[in-house]
Structure 1
Amino acid sequence: MNNSPMNSPAAISWLDRVGNWNPQLLREIRGKLKLRNLIVAISISLLFQIILLLFYSQRIPSEECYAQVRGFGCAKSWADWWLEQFRFITWTEPFVLFLAGVYSLISDISLEDYKGTLNFIRISPRSSISILMGKIMGVPLLAYIGLGLVIPYHLLAAINANVPIAFLLSFYVLLIGTAFLLFSGAILLALLSGWQAKFGGQVTAGALVFSFVTFVWIVPAFMWWNIFTAWSSFSKVLVGGRINAIQAEWWYLPITSNIWTSHIFTVVNLVILSLAIWRILERRFHNPTATIVSKGQSYLVTLYLEILMLGFCIQSGFADKGFYGEFQFLLMLFIYIANFFVFLAAITALTPQRQSLLDWVRFGALSTTEEHPSGFGYILRDLIWSDKSPAPIAIAINLLITQLPILVWVNSWNNAEMRSRALIVIASFAISILILSLVTQLILLLKNRNPSAWATGTVSALIFLPVLIMLSLSITPERYAGVWLFFGFPWVVVANIKLSDIILAFGGQIFVIIALSLQLIYQLQRAKMRET
């Protein structure tokens, strides 16, 4: 006899309606809502609430509170007693929701990919949005139920602690919006990672890694960003004291001046980032061999990220600082570091594999058949827009998109010395990224057993190995500034580098770019000859 709560006629009718709307959600419900799982989820939620209530029963306000020490002390008033419980639940819910969702989604999709069932889902007539939304709604279903049972306790504590309902609404709106963005990113990482095909039963390793990142970075960032912006007027509710909102501007717009601008800025960026991730999910779900993003999408994404980051550097309050020149240069270095990771991701997302390049050589602008027009203009168009064409030209365009606004900003600086240092850093960054892009494309064009691993290892070696070698050989930045600049570490030597070192370093890097470009052209020509 099946003890599942799914067997009653009312449940069957309800499930039929859910199945007609989203079959994937129905599949997840049938898999997750077993009677045993449901009892465990409800029991854990109720046990949490009971333990919390028992703990705070030791802090019930009493007239003898200050006359004797008993247990953990007691609250000053009933309002403070309820406020402490409200605060604890408010800080706990993001950790539970984000960790449970990230771990369950990555683990579930990785396991399905390892077992091969994900391929059957891919051939479903339903859209990728419907399938993946079913995953987001259904996979962490037990966590949703457990947290849903805590909401009445949370609401009761808020009412008795005189917490504004506006804060409660803001908290859950931002919590749900951030959770949706984070869960979408978790699905994307699970689809892109590919560890499930290599490590078999150890598919939960990746889920644990990203859960750890969520625990130590994402959840605290979510809470503290909102405390210092959207929730600054409610800071006493969250941390027990008054915290003034940071005086942040974005392109001179005061985004933390009031609660509405803070919410609008946060929600708009959550929506934009979620839409960007879902565009990638739509692209990759039914075509896992395609590049992560199209070249056209990459131009929009890098432009958005650059406008977002650079906007925080354009603030009227910075002009009052006595060390404004050095401060501007420091901000530019932060953007440099962020852009470095953005372009590592762009190289990974845009660089096609060997088979895609061979298809482009055979059927793209390089083909010489009558069906395809030839000429430099068509080749350049393919290099800019075709997803199967080599990536370095698209990377160069992305560099142009990101560096032009920074150049305009740098040229507005009043400090000529800092301006010249910044220009050296910008030039070194652009050249270094082009070299990494060309190296990655050449490695992926080779016929290797695992080209992605080779490309990752080579790029990592190019980033870290020169530093280790130079330090072990006592090649110090003070004496060999040109060498450090050649290997892409301008911030170490930019303060005391000579013009001759700059010319030699950049000249050597440009020579490397030319050599790698010629080698890539030669390899493509060889591939074309073999194909024809």
Structure 2
Amino acid sequence: MMLNLIDKIGDWNPQLLRELKGRLKFFNVAIAVATSLLLQLVVVLYQFREFPNDKYSLTGAYCGLRQVYEQKQNQFYQELDQSRIAEFNDFFSRNFCPQNEIDWQLWWQDHWEYIFLSLSVIFVFTLLVAGTFLLINDLAKEETRGTLNFIRLSPQSETTILTGKLLGVPSFIYLIILVAVPLHLWAGLTVKIAFSYILSYYAILAASCILFYSAALIFGLLSRWFSGFQPWLGSGAVLLFLCTTMGLASSYNNLNHSSAWFRLFNPWDITNYLFPNLFHLSNASPLTYLQFFYLPLGKSIVSVVGLHLLNLGLCSYGILQALKRCFRNPQALIISKKQSYLVVAFCQLMMWGFTLQVANNNFKLHEQIAENIIYLALYNFVLILSLIAVLSPHRQDVQDWARYRHQGVSSHKSVWQDLIWAEKSPALVAIAINLTIVTIPWLAWISFTSVFDPNDRQSFLGNDIGRFKILLAIALSISLMMIYATIAQLILLLKTPKRSFWAMGTLGAAMFLPPMILGFIGVSSWKHPTVWLFSTFPWAGIEYSGTTTIFMALLAELSVLALLNFQLTRQVRLAGESATKALLAGR
């Protein structure tokens, strides 16, 4: 029967069979089972440190005489007789709670609840941290031995190979957790936790594993320069993320802001929502009040769990698509231009969905967005910069596109179609489209603000001048990001080695040096707002600048952008010339 099962696994996924054969040997299985049983024993015995023995205190939580003792103590304190108080305390310090007064039912309930919650936390850390380490370490070893290239050349599909890695490499961790699941289930059902809640926890945990493991695989493929430090760096980042988000979840933090989306990637908030005693919060879980485009999703466990699974599932699908693209060819772009449009649109949907929540009945729309404007601007800034790094092709790709475009399938397409969809074409048009997608919600907000707040003349958008200034500010930000994208593409077209590092260094200097210098020499945005309009953070000077000044700054940046694109067009044309033509032209 076991041989038939192995044969079926091999027929379904040869890569999974390869991974399981190398790991699930008798000695490894014995170690996994023993480790899991020892861990369960430690968790059970640790709770017995508070076992109510014959010297259990009268003030203990499970002593039935505790209330009587506290009432007597309060009565003596009210009488203010210090000698009697000392006598009273001395008497009760030498007496212990009788065994027949101990609430054993409550103690066993707390005991099993402690076991359930402890195992829930252990499952998260073990699966996500240890599993991430094993996956990245496995890829590093395959790369070192040279077997990863043989796997790439196999006739199996990318989906089959990656599925085999995800299921097979952490199989040792899976076995440890599976052996502990019966105790976890028994403890949960003993304290009358609904079975559907426990299944929801398992579903969230499985979806989190898929997301983190997929991210670990793509990190392992793209970070080969870290050599043997890769597993420690990847698993350390996951551990830091879990510890940080655990601290956030253990303190009551409302989710009425755009950053709530990122809280959906940690398993602690939903675990605390399902099992409220996990962090012993005095208030209900913040997820109870969660809204998405004003829809009260937190009112129903089905909608909360569904939102988490949908978010984790879509993000995992996107990462797996990127994995499939760069698995066969590590030099390929992580995502295509078409996929970048979908990623940006999805990010805007999620961030604006959690921005538009009602904190209280008097909270107005422009106030809700004003509180999130810095977060939205920062997240989109990082998002566009990441796309510039990911989508900008290098010199050889642009050269191939410019020289052989007329010979391929794209010969029947216009240049604009190639600039929008082709992977080897310059990324300027794709970046502009992504910036347009980012801008659409802002324009919708500005257009409909008057509907929600027609008479507020004090708000930032309460009049036409403020509205026009904010439009110019958005245009200023877009032109600045396009300048950065053009500079990056120009540097990547150079013939110098390590062009990527030069591009990152140049953009970093262009973005952060001007505001640092201005801050160092004491040029404040309210005294000299015009200078700040040309920095990476033009919003700092917009409030103190006139509309004409902002418009002139926009014209100046558009002029610089036009000159840079003229130079980029010339470089692309030269790169696309054949060697013979360049030789005859004297280049």
Shared fold (TM-score, shorter chain, > 0.5) = yes
Is residue 2:415 matched to residue 1:379?
yes
Q: 1:271 aligns with which of 301, 313, 317?
A: 313
Give the Cα separation in 1 of the matches to 2:408 and 2:393: 26
Instruction: Name the structure 1 match of 2:256.
Output: none
State the partner residue of 1:14.
5
**Contact 2:214/2:316, CA 8 A, preserved across alignment:** yes
Counterpart position of 1:37: 28
Q: What displacement does 1:218 show?
A: 6.0
Q: Does structure 1 residue 361 correspond to structure 2 residue 402? A: yes
Do structure 1's residue 204 and structure 2's residue 252 form an aligned pair? no
Matched, 1:450 2:498: yes
Q: Measured at CA, do residues 217 and 123 of structure 1 come closer, stay the same or move farther in structure 2, by a change above 3 Å?
A: farther
Cα distance in 1 for partners of 2:553, 2:288 equals 41
Q: Secondary structure at the match of 1:239?
A: coil
Contact 1:178 1:270 in 2 (8 A): yes
**1:168 Cα deviation (Å)?**
0.7
Amino acid of the residue matched to residue 162 of structure 1? K
Supply the AA of the counterpart residue of 1:202: F
2:9 matched to 1:24?
A: no
Alignment of 1:421-440 (within 5 A): 422-440=470-488
SS at match of 2:426: coil
Normalising to structure 1: TM-score of the pair? 0.88
Using the TM superposition, name which of 308-317 and 135-144 deviates more: 308-317
2:331 paired with 1:289:
yes
CA–CA distance in 1 between the matches of 2:169 and 2:515? 45
Q: CA deviation at 1:397?
A: 0.6
* Structure 2 match to 1:144: 174
Aligned to 1:466: 514
Q: CA deviation at 1:293?
A: 1.2
Q: Deviations over 1:257-285 (max 9, x none)?
A: 21122122222222222222222222222
Q: One-letter code of the match for 2:170? A: P
Aligned equivalents of 1:63, 1:342: Cα separation in 2: 62
Seen in structure 2, the aligned counterparts of structure 1 residues 99 and 335 have a Cα distance that, compared at 3 Å, is same
Deviation at 1:321, TM superposition (A): 2.2
Find the aligned partners of 2:246 and 2:398 in 1 and give their Cα distance: 41
CA contact (8 A) 2:123 2:177 kept: yes
1:60-75 superposed matches below 5 A: 60-61=51-52, 65-67=56-58
What corresponds to 1:330 in structure 2?
Answer: 371
Cα distance in 1, alignment partners of residues 274 and 235 from structure 2: 35
Q: Distance in 1 between matches of 2:171 and 2:55?
A: 46
Tell me the equivalent position of 2:441: 405
1:110 maps to a residue whose letter is A
Distance 2:573 2:18 in 1: 50
Question: How far is 1:174 from its partner?
Answer: 0.8
Could you tell me how far apart the structure 2 residues matched to 1:212 and 1:491 are?
36
Q: Which residue of 2 aligns with 1:528?
A: 576
Structure 2 residue matching 1:387: 3-state secondary structure = coil
Q: Is 2:211 aligned against 1:215?
A: no
**After superposition, what is the alpha-carbon deviation per residue over 1:125-144, rounded to whole angstroms, capped at 9, x for unaligned?**
11100100111101111111
State the alpha-carbon separation in 2 of the partners of residues 209 and 447 from structure 1. Answer: 37
Aligned length: 512
Per-residue Cα deviation, 1:41-80 (whole angstroms, up to 9, x for no partner): 333222211211221112234585333779xx99852111
Bigger Cα displacement from structure 2, 246-255 vs 97-106: 246-255
In 1, the alpha carbon distance for the partners of 2:12 and 2:408 equals: 48
Residue 123 of structure 1: CA displacement? 0.9
Amino acid at match of 1:511: S
Give RMSD over aligned pairs: 2.9
User: 1:393: which partner in 2?
Assistant: 429
Determine the structure 2 residue equivalent to 1:100.
130
Matched AA of 1:19: G
What is residue 57 of structure 1 aligned with on the other side? 48
Change over 3 Å in CA distance of 1:460–1:352 after alignment to 2? same
Alpha-carbon distance in structure 2 between the residues aligned to 1:163 and 1:357:
59
> Which shows bigger deviation, 135-144 or 43-52?
43-52
Q: Which moved more, 1:33-42 or 1:84-93?
A: 33-42
2:195 to 162, 165, 168: 165
The C-alpha deviation readout for 1:406-452, integer Å capped at 9, x for no partner, is 21023322356523364354333322221221111111111122122
- Determine if contact 1:428/1:488 at 8 Å carries over to the other structure: no
Q: CA deviation at 1:206?
A: 3.5
8 A contact 2:20–2:168 mirrored in 1:
yes
Contact 1:103 1:210 in 2 (8 A): no
**Relative to structure 2, which stretch is displaced further, 413-422 or 173-182?**
413-422
In structure 2, the CA distance between the partners of 1:370 and 1:58, relative to structure 1 (3 Å rule), is closer
Give the distance between the partners of 1:468 and 1:240, measured in 2 at CA: 42
| Cα distance in structure 1, aligned partners of 2:538 and 2:555 | 15
CA deviation after TM superposition for structure 1 residue 17, in Å: 2.5
Alpha-carbon distance in structure 2 between the residues aligned to 1:298 and 1:328: 25
* Equivalent residues of 2:393, 2:424 under 8 A apart: yes
1:183 aligns with 2:213: yes
CA distances 1:8-61 after superposition (whole Å, capped 9, x unpaired): xx6554333222211111121122224443343333222211211221112234
Q: 2: CA distance between counterparts of 1:233 and 1:118?
A: 41
Q: CA shift at 1:353, angstroms?
A: 1.6
Distance 2:564 2:525 in 1: 27
Distance 2:222 2:567 in 1: 29
- Higher radius of gyration, 1 or 2: 2
Structure 1 unmatched runs, 5+:
1-9
More off after superposition, 256-265 vs 218-227: 218-227
Alignment counterpart, residue 479 of structure 1, candidates 515, 518, 527: 527
TM superposition score normalised by structure 2: 0.80
> Which amino acid in the other structure matches residue 385 of structure 2?
L
Q: Which amino acid aligns with 2:397?
A: S
Distance between the aligned counterparts of 1:371 and 1:89, measured in 2? 57
Q: Taking structure 1 as reference, are residues 50 and 209 closer, same or farther at Cα in structure 2, changes over 3 Å only? A: closer
CA deviations over 1:469-504 (Å, ceiling 9, x no partner): 222222222222222221120343333233344234
CA distance in 2 between partners of 1:115 and 1:358 (Å): 34
CA positional deviation for 1:511: 2.3
**% identical aligned pairs:** 31
The gaps in structure 2 that reach 5 residues or longer are: 62-96, 251-262, 582-587
The alignment status of 1:252 with 2:252, answered yes or no, reads no
Change (3 A) 1:254 1:460: same
The 1:242/1:476 distance shift into structure 2, 3 A limit, reads closer
| Residue 360 of structure 1: how far off its partner (Å) | 0.3
The CA distance in 2 between the partners of 1:240 and 1:161, in whole Å, is 19
- State the SS of the aligned residue for 1:475: coil
Q: CA deviation at 1:512?
A: 2.2
The 1-side partners of 2:289 and 2:52 are apart by 38
Q: Tell me which amino acid in the other structure corresponds to 1:512.
A: V
